[in-house]
Amino acid sequence: MGSYADINIKNHELLSWKNTYDEWYFSKQDRVREITEEDDSKSFIGYRVDVRTLRRRLQLAGHDLRSAERDFKDTRMLWIEEMKESLQRHRAHQEKKPDRFRVEMIEEITSELEVLQAHGFNDWLLALPLVLSKSKDNLEQGIYDQKVHIENEPLLSFMLSSLSGVYDDNQGFAGSTFPCRYIETYAVALLEISNDDDACELDITDLVNGGWVDDFNDIAQVQAGETQFHEYFNLSLDELSTLNASSENQVLQRMMFASVITAMEAYLSDTMKRHVLNRSAIKRRFVESHQSFKDKIGNFSISRGRVGFLEHQRA
């Protein structure tokens, strides 16, 4: 079956993956881990920023309304050209061999071509919120009609229907919902119809639960109030305590004692490597606070003072 991850802007899906994911324009500082013990469906592991932040990141990468409009116009013109070519082919076939299917395709493509030519970038942006709402309703109701007809709403009907007369490879990132070739263009459009404080999320909860990717262990440790090393150390002690319940075997007792020392050494060693040796501030505080180091620092300071005094006297 697999597990899934997806990016949502104001609860509108932008992109999804199976058994993997990409951080896209999210970063490590955006990570969120919200675990609800009572209801797993409400838990969230992933990345979260507001619309304002994501919009700014896209702008810094060169993706804004102007670039989105250029992509929209290029894709729209490509569709218009392909629809016209499709019409010519169907009409040529119809002249040679009349066919009811050809007649229906000619009518369908002609109608969609008129809608496409009559509406521009701003028209699509204005209609997008209603289209997304209706698409969600249709999905919840199990309605998967390829062609939708809404009275006196030609653009809405077009945006909710599958494209005719355009090759699959050229239908772009979002299909008839929004003419564009790039994910960033559709993201800009979704951000434009959202409020600055709305959430943008990359949800990897299902991937973590399915074992496809690692949990955010550093955040989990902070939330749990202990490191994984400490957890493993406690588990080892619990296991040794169970074995130690019997005091009849002296050899086993000595082995248990040695194992406790080994578990403690492993815990201290792992903690030192992970949380001390790679942090200069902690090492400095340790040297400054440990008595033996403090004595050496004091002696070193006195020695330096004497050397400085003697050099001054010679001068």
Question: What integer is the mean pLDDT of 146-154?
Answer: 87
34/202: higher pLDDT:
202
Q: Which long-range contacts (CB under 8 A, 24 or more apart) does 164-169 make?
A: 164/83, 164/86, 164/105, 164/108, 164/109, 164/112, 165/82, 165/83, 165/86, 165/87, 165/105, 165/108, 165/109, 165/112, 165/113, 166/78, 166/79, 166/82, 166/83, 166/86, 167/82
pLDDT at residue number 58? 95
Q: Do residues 154 and 90 make contact, with C-beta atoms less than 8 angstroms apart?
A: no
- The answer on pLDDT for 255 being more than 70 is no
Residue 238's alpha-carbon distances to 224, 243, 247, 264, 269, in angstroms, are 19, 9, 16, 13, 20
* pLDDT at residue 239, rounded to an integer: 65
pLDDT for the residue numbered 226: 47
Contact 113, 84 (CB under 8 A): yes
CA gap 10, 50 in Å, rounded = 9
Residue 52 has pLDDT above 80, yes or no: yes
Question: How do 12-18 and 31-34 pair as beta strands?
Answer: unpaired
281 CB-near residues (< 8 Å, 6+ apart)? none
Going by DSSP bridges, is the β-strand pair 4-9/31-34 parallel, antiparallel, or unpaired?
Answer: unpaired
Domain-by-domain residue ranges, the chain? 4-61+201-222, 65-181, 223-314
Does the structure show a pLDDT above 70 at 236?
Answer: no
Residue percentage of the chain with pLDDT more than 70: 72
Identify the pLDDT of residue 103.
Answer: 87
Does residue 90 register a pLDDT over 60? yes
Q: Which residue has the higher pLDDT, 41 or 175?
A: 175
Q: Which range has the worst mean pLDDT, 4-13, 48-57, 166-175, 251-260? A: 251-260
E-state strands within 39-80 = 44-50
- The mean predicted confidence, pLDDT, of the chain is 82
Amino acid, res. 236: S
Answer whether residue 13 shows pLDDT above 50: yes
pLDDT band at 4 (very low <50, low <70, confident <90, very high): very high
CA 47, 48, 53, 59 dihedral sign is: positive
Does 294 or 49 have the greater pLDDT score? 49
Contact 172, 185 (CB under 8 A): no
pLDDT at res. 67:
95
Q: Average pLDDT for residues 275-280, to the nearest whole number?
A: 68
Q: What is the pTM of this model?
A: 0.69
* Average pLDDT, integer, range 58-65: 94
- Mean pLDDT for 110-130 is 95
Most confident of 154-163, 209-218, 226-235, 282-291: 154-163
* CA 189 – CA 159 distance, rounded (Å): 14
Report the C-alpha gap between 29 and 250 in whole angstroms. Answer: 53
pLDDT at 248: 62
What sign results for the dihedral spanned by CA atoms 135, 137, 142, 145?
A: negative
- Looking at the chain, the number of H-run helices and the number of E-run strands are 12, 5
- Of 38, 49, 33, 47, the closest CA to residue 209 belongs to 33
161: tokens are 């229907």
For the cut 50, the answer to whether the pLDDT of residue 133 exceeds it is yes
